[in-house]
Amino acid sequence: MPEPQQQPPGTIAAMAEKPDHGEHSYRGSGRLNGKTAVITGGDSGIGRAVAIAFAREGADVLIAYLDEHDDARDTAGWVQEAGRRAVLVPGDLAGREHCETVVATAVREFGHIDVLVNNAAYQMTHESVEEITDEEWTRTFDINIHAMFRLVKAALRSLPEGASIINTSSVNYDMPRPTLLPYATTKGAIANFTAGLAQLLGPRGVRVNAVAPGPVWTPLIPSTMPPEQVEEFGRNTPLGRPGQPAEVAPVYVLLASGEASYISGAVVPVTGGKPIL
């Protein structure tokens, strides 16, 4: 079935081949009982899979998203079905004020934040540098890396000892795809941000890690890549296919849990066999 092209950031409903977010497969075991989490880009893709997994592990979840209201409400429904609280906060993370609003809402609703998942991202595909406008370059950085800094800074006073910050990087931080130049550049920045922040926050008992997914099937793909690239998406991995969001979420669960109490400053690849050395 041909995958219809979409306008970014895309929606699940418009996809011919729906991603697997673990809606019918993820089984929790209480690894995050009583915790609270903020997940940006939580309406679909990796963010939705993480929200579902966190809820089934016992966490209440705030889902920050741009304007994909139907997808976000659907994600919230899965969180609530797991017996946990879901708080929805729409808005553009490119602005400092909204980053502060997301954190303030979480603190008002939950009292504190145990896990901050910086997952929201923006990307577009270009065949030449000349195609990339200054506005797009700036927006990519505002959403992909500047928002992480602003969210962390706003959340610091509400992160207790033992809290976890998890940033979504990408295989592109190590193997940058030239047609994703702005996006790939920010993903390299995220890896360095993670390593440096882990050292700064270690004395406070706050762990900081990143996940580096390879090609994962989400609405971002058919909304930001041309049809010929969508058709071949993920086939160049050793496993020969794109990953599903449900296959990435368990790494976030590990990094959010006490089982990862001595893991900080790491970038964990989930790449279908593509090496990150």
In tens digits, the chain (277 residues) has pLDDT values of: 578 888 888 899 889 889 999 999 999 999 999 999 999 999 999 999 999 999 999 999 999 999 999 999 999 999 999 999 999 999 999 999 999 999 999 999 999 999 999 999 999 999 999 999 999 999 999 999 999 999 999 999 999 999 999 999 999 999 999 999 999 999 999 999 999 999 999 999 999 999 999 999 988 899 888 888 888 998 999 999 999 999 999 999 999 999 999 999 999 999 999 988 7
- Does domain 36-270 match CATH 3.30.200.20? no
**Residue of 107, 115, 202 whose CA lies nearest to 157:** 107
CA-CA distances (angstroms) from residue 152 to 38, 115, 197, 202? 11, 11, 10, 14
In the chain, what are the domain boundaries?
Answer: 36-270
Global confidence as pTM: 0.95
- Is-contact 214 171, C-beta < 8 A? yes
Measured CA distances, 13 to 36, 72, 202, 241, 243 (Å) = 28, 12, 41, 22, 19
The per-residue pLDDT for range 130-187, each reduced to its tens digit, is 999 999 999 999 999 999 999 999 999 999 999 999 999 999 999 999 999 999 999 9
Active-site entry in 26, 122, 173, 183:
183
The question of whether 183 is a catalytic residue gets the answer: yes
